[in-house]
Structure 1
Amino acid sequence: MHPTAPRLAPIAPGTRPELADQEVRIAAARGRISGLYQVLLNSPPIAHGWEQMLSAVRNHSSLSAAVRELVILRVAVLNRAPYEFDAHVPHALAAGVSQAAIDATRVVPPAADSPWSDAERVALELADTMTRDIEVPDALFARVEAVFQGQQLLDLVATVAAYNMVSRLLVALRVGH
């Protein structure tokens, strides 16, 4: 096997009649059946649950689209998941994130002069800590909680956690290489 070959064969849309209804739902929610979902269709229950969770995180979040997409981009950078990063750049741009702010997510550790708002900066610091250290120190959590409360706080933490799941699956199975 080539070192960057996918480790699990994708299910080409339309090739498994028993998946037809699920493919229709995924395409309706996502606009298409991406390479990620073609791999996920190897386990229809996982593909279904994945779609439900990630749709909630992306489409029903109380976070601003800019914060959400910057956090997703940062997790992709930290986990070396270029497929995820490239998939979310258009979403970040559509959310009004500048190319400079997108480019700044690639710098590890972040530059002091990164062009992020204070809310974006603390959200990205949380993403860094959750992704790299897992445990969030009380001092950082207090700074996050000063900006994000209630549903926004949960949505932020869930976004970081969910996209760590996404990137780790993509990297482990070499999806999009």
Structure 2
Amino acid sequence: MSQIRVPVVTPGTRPELAELEDTIKKSRGGNISLLYQVLLNSAPIASGWEQMLSAVRNHSSIPADLRELAILRVAVLNRAEYEFEAHVPHALTAGLTKQAIDNLRTGAVFDAQLFTESQTLVLELTDKMTREVAVPDAVMARVTARFNAQEVVELVATIAAYNMVSRFLVALAIAH
């Protein structure tokens, strides 16, 4: 992997970012990840990013297993290793098995025995949104039949948001 394509902002080195850094630390378990150290090059973007991604990850009604499944799948499809590795612990905590995560990691055909019907549908929606952008009516009809309107909005927002995250990571060569 190539070197990160913009400077990394070391936390605590820019007094004008202190309040924003505190906000990030509070919502991210006390540390500022490499991703946020890059985002700190633009305080407005870092702040908006933190608000949006916190809403998606922490204030959504989507079950954690479905959220993390979508995030991992987006990471695989967009070749965002940093994103994938960052979410494996969350996926395990959410109840996804190591075997299911390993199946996702390969990017190959899904082993239907490893995923519930809802999980399989989320994987299909994630693939359509990430690979094709437009979601066929038939797929969306199945999604709206299984999930209520709030869940559909939150699921689509999660997939869209993590496409943004993965594309940002890959474009700027942010890796572990």
Task: Report the TM-score range of the alignment, normalised by the length of the smaller protein.
Answer: over 0.9
For residues 136-175 of structure 1, the aligned pairs below 5 Å read: 136-175=135-174
Structure 2 residue matching 1:122: 3-state secondary structure: helix
For residue 43 of structure 1, what is the aligned residue in structure 2? 42
Paired residues of 2:112 and 2:120 also in contact (CA < 8 A)? no
In the alignment, the residues of structure 1 paired with residue 156 and residue 110 of structure 2 have an alpha-carbon distance, to the nearest angstrom, of: 23
- Cα distance in 2 for partners of 1:65, 1:93 equals 10
Could you say what secondary structure the match of 2:55 adopts? helix
**More displaced stretch, 137-146 vs 48-57:** 137-146
Q: Whose helix proportion is higher, 1 or 2?
A: 2
TM-score, with length taken from structure 2: 0.96
Distance apart, 1:113 and its partner CA: 3.0
Q: Is 1:14 aligned with 2:28?
A: no
Contact (CA 8 Å) 1:83, 1:175: kept in 2 or not? yes
The answer to whether the Cα contact below 8 Å between 1:104 and 1:114 also exists between their aligned partners in 2 is no
Q: CA deviation at 1:89?
A: 0.2
Using the alignment, how far apart are the partners of 2:147 and 2:39 within structure 1? Answer: 32
Cα contact 1:101–1:114 (8 A) shared by 2: no
Contact 1:71 1:160 in 2 (8 A): yes
Scaled by the length of structure 1, the TM-score of the pair is 0.95
Structural RMSD (CA): 1.1
Q: How many residues of Structure 1 are paired with residues of Structure 2 in the alignment?
A: 175
Q: Distance in 2 between matches of 1:114 and 1:159?
A: 25
Q: Give % identity.
A: 59
CA distance in 1, matches of 2:80, 2:113: 21
For 2:8 and 2:170, the matched residues in 1 are separated by 15
In the other structure, the counterpart of 1:54 is: 53
d(CA) in 1 for partners of 2:150 and 2:114? 26
Whether 2:98 is the aligned partner of 1:106: answer no
- Counterpart CA distance in 2 for 1:105 and 1:158 is 21
2: distance between equivalents of 1:142 and 1:47? 35
Unaligned runs of at least 5 residues, structure 2: none
4+ runs deviating over 4 angstroms: none
